[in-house]
Amino acid sequence: MMEIRIIVAGASGKMGQETIRLLSRTPHFRLVGATSRKHAGKEVGNVVGTPSFGVHFKADLAEVIDQVEADVLVDFTTPELGKRHIRLALESGIRPVMGTTGFTEQEIAELSQLCKDKQLGAIIAPNFAIGAVLMMDFAKRAARYLPHVEIIESHHDQKLDAPSGTSMKTAELIANSRKEVRQGHPDEVELREGARGAYYDGFRIHSIRLPGMVAHQEVLFGGTGQLLTIRHDSYNRESFMPGVQLATEKVMELSGLVYGLENILQL
Ligand code: NAP
């Protein structure tokens, strides 16, 4: 397989370090640059605990891009910084693979145009866990036949937002594939506020936050005399790496922007 030269932004963060480990075990991936403010100047392998790459962290992506030839940028920084990095990469002829979230529809449209103008591939994937993407696809199909649904998502207790982005995306797919069904008894009363969870187009999303959890979701479909449960668990950040690998390989063949890993899987 052709060698791919990669810059990792946010490389000393939790996802960034996992990506560095992916690169160290993948023969056709070559790390050529990495950003971290905290570890600027240190050798990447020394910090992450992999064999040395001979690559040193730099604080700023522009500085890395100035000094090395790269094919792909893998970005696990922050939503704000990700938005700047994706443009910088495209302007420099580098194909971005973005793990950061928070892109608006308008930003996606603008970036799509920029990719077309530059004839460059780019992938933005709010969820790199292939199992989670499949869960969403299966749920979308099930909702056509079993329209009574509830979602239960569970995450670690340091997560700031609820419901999770994945549960909202699942809810949107379900809502688009069934007619609106207002579930539950019309005279239902919540004796404690929030008991029935967040309302979404006739159904409910429940969010659990507990230490020890990573990222989990169940989609329950109830029918007469039957229950279908579609469940996905991410037990650690390694669960995202097959998706990151696939996106890094695929982006080399694209000449436009792809939003969502589901669009590069054959579903
Ligand atoms: P993290 O451990 O906090 O890592 C983020 C890294 O970004 C930090 O280590 C930090 O390193 C760097 N950074 C650079 N500029 C920064 C700034 N202005 N403010 C804060 N940090 C800055 O977070 P993580 O858990 O690895 O997650 C990283 C991103 O990936 C998040 O946006 C998260 O939502 C996303 N994520 C995506 C997926 C997916 O499947 N798409 C899965 C998990 C997480 P320095 O301080 O050394 O620069």
| Ligand 1 atom showing the smallest separation from residue 82 Cα | 32
All domains in the chain, ordered by first residue: 4-124+238-264 (3.40.50.720), 130-235 (3.30.360.10)
CA of 67 to the centre of ligand 1 (A): 23
The pTM of the full predicted model, rounded to 2 decimals, is: 0.90
H-only helix segments in the chain: 14-25, 44-48, 61-67, 79-91, 105-118, 130-145, 165-177, 241-250
pLDDT averaged over consecutive 10-residue blocks of the chain (267 residues)? 96 97 98 98 98 98 98 96 98 97 93 98 95 97 97 94 92 93 92 96 97 96 97 96 98 96 91
Nearest CA to ligand 1 atom 12: 10
150 close to 196: Cβ distance less than 8 angstroms: no
Please tell me the predicted confidence (pLDDT) of residue 124. Answer: 96
Please tell me the predicted confidence (pLDDT) of residue 84. Answer: 98
| Ligand 1 atom showing the smallest separation from residue 78 Cα | 32
The C-alpha atoms of residue 38 and residue 121 are separated, in whole angstroms, by 30
If one residue of 77, 80, 83, 160 were mutated to test the ligand 1 pocket, choosing by the most ligand atoms within 8 A of its CB, it would be 77
CA of 40 to the centre of ligand 1 (A): 16
Q: Indicate if ligand 1 lies below 6 Å from the C-beta of 128.
A: yes
Please tell me the predicted confidence (pLDDT) of residue 260. Answer: 93
Active site residue 155: yes
Q: Indicate if ligand 1 lies below 6 Å from the C-beta of 14.
A: yes
